[in-house]
Structure 1
């Protein structure tokens, strides 16, 4: 593998790690099949900040929001290894393109990270740093961040953007998994634009995509996609590896960018 691919994947809701479905099976298969990366930089939509931040702790605590978690999940732990060396590498690469980056030694791993990573790498034996998302930024800013981190892919590091293409928790129907029509229409539009790398349309998705406000009421959930795309700006190849829906308005998908 000449350069490690980048990924954009949905992290769903915390309960994902307790479920056995097509998506959780897919993530396990993906982690087993991919060559072992030297480390992982994961941009999580669950960590928002006005300035770019990355974790710097040697061990990342498993952070849990107040979701009314079931008993089996309240005791869940994913003992992810951190990497101050990787954090400094990210800081250096962003600085070389005129962007600031703060290292947060106290931040742990939120569920935007531990859902997908625990399913891909249950042994927790790959160094990980989490990076924040600025919800007030524009997609171009996230793309620029990813582009600056392209060198990491050359050195066998995996870049993951963790968020969601369709993620409307207020409209979720917990009793069924049939996708709402508007959710499918938004995803189809997005899929088409990603495949042809139509940045002009993607940057303006809030105005151009059908049902964008219903699909992504929180911009931070789609911005990680642009980080992963930016990291692959040189080759601009995209492949949708998996797509399904939960609760009608929650898309569970995974894109590989290379």
Structure 2
């Protein structure tokens, strides 16, 4: 059974970077069995109701990536959709009383193809995109993820793509040293994840230090809770990578559910 992952999508130019984080992502994909499909919650796709992509040949959306690197304006990630899986996801959510809708027009945004272009550059694994509703409580986000946990038994890789410390107004390209507030917030989050303290995480907006600075956009923190919920059956969390970019932009990867990764 595959674990689930939270992966920071970082700066829009991630797919063109060569650094410790991208090197880690290259190693990560090589350490995992090839999934039958990928289900990805994207912070780049916000909606007031849970959306599930049903496009068979979703277009590549570029957004801010083209501004970060002109080369990325031409980048394509031609992964195919998987309608049967999309409809199965809808059924799983409805079985738990979670309202949802399908969307046959949504493309693949850079929050998805940024990390996936490094993890699986051949784009030869079926991909189902899921939106994020930033208005939901942390507990509701976790519950959505938990509803999809059974997909892991069918070698489906569930990924949440977002950011834990993600405040674009506080980035500093001239200072690579992360500020103390960003480090303190990340350390608090790590402690709660490693002890599976959902009571604290469900109230992170009240309990976490410096939360106003770290999480001005709850929709970027939500994929962490969604991915964690999908690993609920095992209740194991492991930090595989952590670094900062542009001062306060957190780049992290958490694995939920656990498995022994192969060294390659």
Common fold, TM-score beyond 0.5?
yes
Q: Report Cα offsets for 1:77-101 as digits up to 9, x if no partner.
A: 1112111111101001001111122
Cα drift, residue 33 of structure 1:
1.5
Match of residue 44 from structure 1: 42
Describe the SS at the equivalent of 1:162: strand
Match of residue 76 from structure 1: 75
Question: What value does the CA root-mean-square deviation take over the aligned residues?
Answer: 1.0
Cα drift, residue 70 of structure 1:
2.6
Match of residue 236 from structure 2: 237
Cα drift, residue 66 of structure 1:
4.3
Describe the SS at the equivalent of 1:244: strand
Cα drift, residue 177 of structure 1:
2.2
Match of residue 14 from structure 1: 12
Cα drift, residue 218 of structure 1:
0.4
Alignment partner of 1:54 out of 45, 52, 71: 52
Match of residue 224 from structure 1: 223
* 1:91-240 paired onto structure 2 within 5 Å: 91-240=90-239
Q: Report Cα offsets for 1:182-220 as digits up to 9, x if no partner.
A: 101100000000000001111111111110110110001
Which deviates more, 72-81 or 59-68?
59-68
Aligned residues: 256
Describe the SS at the equivalent of 2:192: helix
Distance 1:54 1:176 in 2: 39
Cα drift, residue 36 of structure 1:
0.5
Given that 1:6 and 1:228 are in contact with CA atoms closer than 8 Å, whether structure 2 keeps it comes out as yes
Unaligned runs of 5+ in 2: 258-264
Displaced runs of 4 or more, over 4 A: none
Given that 1:176 and 1:246 are in contact with CA atoms closer than 8 Å, whether structure 2 keeps it comes out as no
Describe the SS at the equivalent of 1:59: coil
Distance 2:135 2:104 in 1: 24
Cα drift, residue 34 of structure 1:
0.5
Unaligned runs of 5+ in 1: none
Q: 1:69 to 1:246 in 2, by over 3 A?
A: closer
Task: Report the TM-score when normalising by structure 1.
Answer: 0.97
Distance 1:183 1:161 in 2: 20
Given that 2:12 and 2:64 are in contact with CA atoms closer than 8 Å, whether structure 1 keeps it comes out as no
Match of residue 28 from structure 2: 30
Describe the SS at the equivalent of 1:190: helix
Cα drift, residue 178 of structure 1:
1.6
Q: 1:66 to 1:29 in 2, by over 3 A?
A: closer
Distance 1:188 1:56 in 2: 38
Distance 1:41 1:108 in 2: 14
